[in-house]
Amino acid sequence: MRPWERVRHFSSYFSFSDFFPEINMGVNGEVRQKSAFHRSQTLTYKNGFALPRTPTVGIGQDPLLSERVIQQEINKRTFKTPDMTHGSSYKSPRKQFVPAYVTLDKKALRFYAYFKEDVQFCPDEVYRVRPVMIYYYPEDDSMYIYEPIVENSGLSQGKRLKRQRVPKNERGEHYEYKDLSLGIDLVVYGVKYHITNCDEFTMKFMESEGIILNNPEPTPVDPYSNSRKMTLPRHTTPSEFDRKHQFLTMDGKVLCFFALWDDADCLQKDTGSVTIHYYLAVEIREIHGPNSGRDPFPVVMRRQKLHKKLKPQPFPSCVMQVSKDEVEEYYSPKDFQVGHTVKLLGRPFLLYDCDDFTRKYYQTNHPDMDMKPIEVHKTVDVDRKKDVGKI
């Protein structure tokens, strides 16, 4: 038989699909007829930019080898069951994995510490003891140092170190929670912090990690701050009279007296009605009636402490204003009694009546003084009730 006849005879029994059955066979074994022989595009455009695209089918829309292997594995696991099962079919559920940054999120170890600051060129103090709080975050091994703010301390307090990883040595290592304990010195950027105590959560966290902390230590007291709390020695004898207590108890309470001012020095020799207010100081107001022709300035003497008796002076005084060191006695409520004449700044005032509050005040504090009103003749007709309580 000739060679070309042998090839023709051989091809009559075998076809191309017998040697490559995956070309015309589908994934599930069905026979597929090719209708397209083009290759899928591996490049696409989106918003004007060329983007690569991984083809999912091959030439002629046939599935790729990788896709067929995946589909065969799915079919094998879905439709084929094992012939024999070893052990119990029940399996305990696996524990959910939680990463460390989720477990330790928002958790901080708090230590109490202090550092000493040298003070130069100051005779009152040599050093200061400044307490701080050190926060350690096990989530990322960062640290944060904060100093409590004290009002009017004159020091720059608050945040001393923002949250960051603190270097431990020159080899690039950083502080970890294993390096922290009580009673040790922690050097942070040249400042030595001495750790004295910690909170309860920090102690339990360290015990859970197998670390036993040292015994807590007391924080030393700042000598200068302690000296400020002590009472300074006084070189003068304190007064037994508490003026602050008098102001707080008698504030807003006014003793009001109605009097007649015998102005004998004027040409008309008129007798005017006045109101005397006694606070902690004395004030004199003149009462003007309608169309009285007087100047519209009713205050005869402004509110002030009025001296009653001056200390004897060895020489004549040429000072217009009298200081408190020159006064021996001031006017008090005992010097004002209804029916008597009181002399204020060289002018006589006849007290003929007072208001209800003043009368009750004298009945409580000075019951021996009689405060009954007297009948007087006034040249100026003034309604007394309209001026009661007006200041």
Phi (first) and psi of residue 192, to 5 degrees: -95, 115
In this predicted structure, the answer to whether residue 206 has a pLDDT above a threshold of 80 is: yes
Question: What is the average pLDDT value for the chain, to the nearest integer?
Answer: 76
Mean pLDDT of 222-243: 73
Most confident listed range (255-269, 288-302, 304-318, 345-359)? 345-359
Per-residue confidence (pLDDT) for residue 389, from 0 to 100: 37
In this predicted structure, the answer to whether residue 200 has a pLDDT above a threshold of 90 is: yes
Mean pLDDT of 223-232: 81
Per-residue confidence (pLDDT) for residue 216, from 0 to 100: 93
Q: Token pair 């940054």 is at which residue?
A: 101
Mean pLDDT of 270-292: 71
Per-residue confidence (pLDDT) for residue 290, from 0 to 100: 74
Q: Is there a contact between 382 and 349 (Cβ–Cβ < 8 Å)?
A: no
Q: Is there a contact between 183 and 215 (Cβ–Cβ < 8 Å)?
A: yes
Lowest mean pLDDT across 132-141, 226-235, 278-287, 297-306: 278-287
Per-residue confidence (pLDDT) for residue 71, from 0 to 100: 65
Rounded to 5, what percent of the chain is helix, strand, coil? 20, 25, 50
Per-residue confidence (pLDDT) for residue 109, from 0 to 100: 95
In total, the chain counts a number of residues equal to 391
Spell out the long-range contacts of 112-117 with Cβ–Cβ below 8 A and sequence spacing 24 or more.
112/195, 112/196, 112/197, 112/198, 112/219, 113/186, 113/193, 113/194, 113/195, 113/196, 114/193, 114/194, 114/196, 114/219, 114/220, 115/191, 115/192, 115/193, 115/194
Q: Is there a contact between 130 and 147 (Cβ–Cβ < 8 Å)?
A: yes
CA–chain centroid gap for 228, Å, is 25
| Closest CA relative to residue 261, chosen from 251, 275, 274 | 274
Spell out the long-range contacts of 147-155 with Cβ–Cβ below 8 A and sequence spacing 24 or more.
155/128, 155/130
| Closest CA relative to residue 166, chosen from 183, 138, 187, 194 | 187
Position with higher pLDDT, 316 vs 135? 135
- Which residues, in sequence order, are CB contacts of 311 under 8 Å at separation 6+? 326, 327, 328
Give, for 69, the enclosing helix (H) or strand (E).
helix 65-79
Whole-Å CA distances, 119 to 113, 116, 130, 189, 326: 20, 10, 12, 20, 46
pLDDT, tens digit (0-9, with 9 covering 90-100), for 73-120: 666 666 555 555 555 555 667 778 888 778 888 899 999 999 999 998
Per-residue confidence (pLDDT) for residue 253, from 0 to 100: 75
pLDDT band at 251 (very low <50, low <70, confident <90, very high): low
Q: Is there a contact between 301 and 282 (Cβ–Cβ < 8 Å)?
A: yes
Cα distance between residue 283 and residue 345, in whole Å: 12
Q: What is the pTM of this model?
A: 0.41
| Strands of the chain, DSSP E | 43-46, 49-52, 109-118, 127-137, 142-147, 158-164, 185-188, 191-198, 255-262, 271-278, 282-286, 299-304, 307-310, 327-330, 341-344, 347-354
Lowest mean pLDDT across 4-13, 185-194, 295-304: 4-13
Give, for 358, the enclosing helix (H) or strand (E).
helix 356-365
Q: If phi over 0 gives left and psi between -120 and 50 gives alpha, with beta otherwise, what is residue 79?
A: alpha
